[in-house]
Structure 1
């Protein structure tokens, strides 16, 4: 359904030393959930926005980004609007920043339907059903309410209902549980996984939590400095990570057995850093001189796709 090949996104000359995205390739099949994992600034959100044709102003994109064979990067404006209404929808990180505070909830949920020509009454009836499906107890009253009358968890449910209004075939979920408490996070994840099964909908799920990705995703892509550095089925990646960065993310995760988490040393690469060789080399405990000189390309090792020059030498043990 979604095929991204060698996607690169650069800001205007002089605004960044390296690309925001640098040769990203990934695929999402119908009904599949693919996780996109990495630290803040790794390029996860920009990848999602590129699928909608929402690239940063003044940026230039290269490579190929196809949805059902149609190149999103070259879509004319009218076709792009239709693509956003019917093919793909996105749940953004912060519902407070993504829902117009001056308009009622009903306006937000029905906007796409109305733009597609659905009569107002029919759109409101559908919106009521959508709000009910995401766990809002009094959907009719909710349609007349304003965003400030809802908690963060309830607003995230409204965001999900609005995203589903156009019956998209692919849902982009950009860290949809980041600002929520643990109980509400579990409820939102349950809603998303249930709707995915019910609608045979594909999902690109962005998170910084590898354990969450392993729990709900079929495959996981790990990003660092605008590149994908590892791709594995979720269970295999969690049990046997091959890239040192993936291992670092896993050891940084709090553990229920009382074990102490260990953060990844150093700092992430910024857009102002000019990168030579492997971008992770300055933080990598296994880096050798060749890592600072040679640019690693992604290759298949024992069923895993990994961009590491020393992947075959590293043990499978995890701290």
Structure 2
């Protein structure tokens, strides 16, 4: 048996003393791409606003001015800290985590918040480790500045957790909170603290993005998803046709992604994207726990599967027991 003892970092004594006063101040890390704020950041802002106190937004990038101007107009933002440096161009986690910690040390923020997206999950654990605190992941509700609700066991249980750490590092499940709106008066901008020299722990090599005219999966109000029952990637073409009819995004189960039918950027589930659209159509998806964890909060769930005993029917609002290769083309034709 091993005994572990955590030792607080001396450099954090000022920040911890500030937190002990009971004042709440939150730093929101803004995710953005191509000069647009990520939709999940708007949900994270709503969660940050529920903590009480002021919310300061941190925008980092090589040309962050446009995003900073947009963030300044979001409801609940009292100040925008802008970090302009080529080191922040591709959201490398090491540089962003260092920036978060330096900013926390300077201003004494009690809460650091980001969305529970790939962006947030890549950066926030590093920041928590540097601050020697435990991260509170994937929250769906805020009960008080130190008490939060989060799903566990693939969403089969809900835990209420209370943190005794003076600095709370939090990631937010976007589907648990509404998107923040805008405010009439723009918040002031200020330069973020300078970060020390990059230790070159990692470097950006290349990026390959899949472009699509369809809605982005994480923010789509309608989603058509395919599973192992699609049999191959070519058959996903019928789902794209249906999606185009109703303006929906296309997703997939982990089984379909692992089988190579589609790219993993379409994966919905515990290890993929968490979605909660107005309409979710599951085609040829059995309903494994891993997949249900990512979509069961959808407002209306429609399942199409030839197996009447498929678990997906237990969570669906409407179910059609039929061969998908007959049902989907007929549905598309009638729309």
TM-score normalised to the size of structure 2? 0.24
Larger Rg, first or second structure (1 or 2): 2
Give the structure with the larger strand fraction: 2
| Structure with more relative contact order (C-alpha pairs < 8 Å, separation 6 or more) | 1
